[in-house]
């Protein structure tokens, strides 16, 4: 594994709260994706980021359609009043889009094709629902067969079966996520910036955590994916696999749709002269990986590659932000890397507060840096799985 070129630093990282998507539209339903991202960009300027010195803006979005189509990064930049001369673009790697944007910006800095870059992601699932762009791997039976596409919850159930996780294991993970997220809601963080509407502040903290969540309460929820017709494709693609009598994941152990935006400022060490503060952290390992779809195990592969790239072992990690793309994906990461569960998603995750798809990578970077600061830790790992067998990972080292 080639080591990542050192010397790419994070000078700032902020995000909006995560707003849950609801049938009535949700808290951010009237906020277009370009406005959501623009509010983050304006806040970076307020915090002293020199917009006229940014060489490129790279933003991840999973569903590049509607409000998020047509290069939402450039649209948001101009909407925010940033210089016309600032370049911007979008990367789309499904749920890994935000991490892809961060790693793309880091590669530009490492290659010295940019001195300063703003990276992150945005996703407005209230306005642009997942799969609303009708991708061909969903609508074409032939392509679906070739790619192994199944409903993502079926992938999660299959992964749970592979590892022997029971329904009770998954439910217990959700209880922990809600309790940690509820406790974290009271924590102070100037990295989470309120989102404003015409009549004032819309939201200043993540929505969703329910501290009264119990195993007994979750046991009564109906499994979502046991009868899903996608199991026929699993049985064709992975001989020997038999669909379970009932599904394993429920609404409680699935990631909740959410709206959010996040952005980080990357640069070389010399960029410190432009700020009145030293960098927060250094990016020391990056990786993308893929496995045979429809398994959700690619983040494990990506995590190992990113840790090798960083030259550290899992035992040296102080924080792990493993996106809760269903309970099974996080439990698999803990088992495979032999992680201390207390270090994994210490402030809860997307089962409690929602998963904003392409914005998730930037959100998790902010959360990881905040937690490293709280505990005076050094290394953090961030991982995300995506459909079609994809996974991504990032390792950062906090500068004390």
Q: Residue 219: pLDDT above 80?
A: yes
pLDDT score, position 283: 98
Q: Among candidates 91, 94, 158, 89, which has minimal Cα distance to 130?
A: 94
Q: What is the pLDDT of residue 4?
A: 57
The per-residue pLDDT of the chain, averaged, comes to: 94
Supply the pLDDT for residue 293.
Answer: 86
pLDDT per residue over 152-197, tens digit each?
999 999 999 999 999 999 999 999 999 999 998 766 678 999 999 9
Tell me the whole-structure pTM to 2 decimals.
0.96
Mean pLDDT within 39-48: 97
- Of the two residues 275 and 61, the one the predictor is more confident about is 61
Q: Among the listed ranges 27-41, 68-82, 172-186, 378-392, which one has the minimum average pLDDT value?
A: 172-186
**Between 309 and 237, residue with greater pLDDT:** 309
The full set of domain ranges for the chain reads 1-129+140-400
Q: What is the pLDDT of residue 54?
A: 97
Best CATH choice for the domain 1-129+140-400 from the list 3.40.47.10, 3.40.640.10, 3.40.50.970, 3.40.50.720? 3.40.47.10
Using the predicted structure, report yes or no on whether residue 1 has a pLDDT greater than 70.
no
What pLDDT is attached to residue 188? 66
Poorest-pLDDT segment among 22-31, 185-194, 244-253: 185-194
pLDDT digits (tens, 9 = 90+) for 354-389: 999 999 999 999 999 999 999 999 999 999 999 999
* More confident of the two residues 23 and 165: 165
- The model's pLDDT over 105-136, given as tens digits with 9 standing for 90+, comes to 999 999 999 999 999 999 999 999 999 999 99
Q: What is the pLDDT of residue 6?
A: 64
Q: Which tens digit of pLDDT belongs to each residue from 56-65?
A: 999 999 999 9
Q: What is the pLDDT of residue 276?
A: 82
Residue 213 has pLDDT above 80, yes or no: yes
pLDDT-derived band at 83 (thresholds 50, 70, 90) equals very high
| Percent with pLDDT over 70 in the chain | 98
């Amino acid at each position: 594994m080639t080591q990542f070129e050192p010397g790419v630093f994070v000078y700032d990282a902020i995000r909006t709260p995560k707003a849950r998507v609801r049938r009535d539209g949700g808290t951010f339903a009237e906020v277009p994706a370009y406005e959501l991202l623009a509010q983050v960009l304006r806040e970076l300027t307020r915090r002293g980021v020199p917009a006229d010195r940014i060489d490129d803006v790279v933003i991840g979005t999973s569903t590049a359609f509607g409000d998020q189509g047509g290069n939402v990064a450039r649209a948001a930049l101009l909407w925010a009043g940033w210089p016309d001369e600032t370049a911007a673009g979008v990367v789309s790697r499904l749920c890994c889009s935000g991490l892809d944007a961060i790693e793309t910006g880091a590669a530009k800095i490492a290659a010295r094709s940019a001195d300063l870059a703003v990276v992150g992601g945005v996703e407005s699932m209230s306005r642009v629902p997942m799969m609303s762009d009708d991708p061909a791997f969903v609508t074409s039976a032939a392509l679906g067969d070739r790619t192994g596409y199944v409903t993502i919850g079926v992938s999660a159930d299959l992964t749970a079966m592979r590892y022997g996780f029971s329904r009770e294991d998954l439910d217990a993970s959700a209880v922990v996520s809600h309790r940690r997220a509820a406790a974290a809601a009271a924590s102070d963080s100037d990295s989470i910036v309120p989102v404003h509407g015409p009549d004032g502040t819309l939201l200043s903290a993540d929505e969703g955590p329910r501290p009264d969540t119990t195993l007994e309460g979750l046991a009564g929820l109906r499994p979502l994916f046991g009868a899903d017709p996608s199991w026929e494709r699993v049985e064709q693609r992975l001989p020997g696999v038999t669909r379970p009598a009932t599904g394993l994941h429920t609404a409680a152990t699935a990631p909740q749709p959410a709206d959010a935006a996040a952005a980080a400022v990357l640069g070389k060490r010399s960029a410190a002269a432009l700020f009145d503060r030293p960098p927060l952290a250094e990016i020391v390992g990056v990786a993308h990986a893929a496995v045979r779809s429809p398994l959700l195990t690619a983040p494990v592969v990506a995590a190992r590659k990113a840790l090798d790239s960083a030259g550290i072992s899992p035992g040296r990690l102080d924080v792990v932000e493993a996106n809760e793309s269903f309970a099974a994906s996080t439990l698999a990461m803990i088992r495979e890397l032999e992680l201390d569960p207390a270090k994994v998603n210490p402030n809860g995750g997307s089962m409690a507060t929602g998963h904003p798809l392409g914005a998730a990578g930037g959100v998790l970077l902010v959360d990881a840096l905040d937690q490293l600061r709280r505990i005076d830790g050094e290394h953090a790992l961030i991982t995300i799985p995506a459909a079609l067998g994809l996974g991504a990972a990032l390792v950062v080292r906090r500068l004390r």
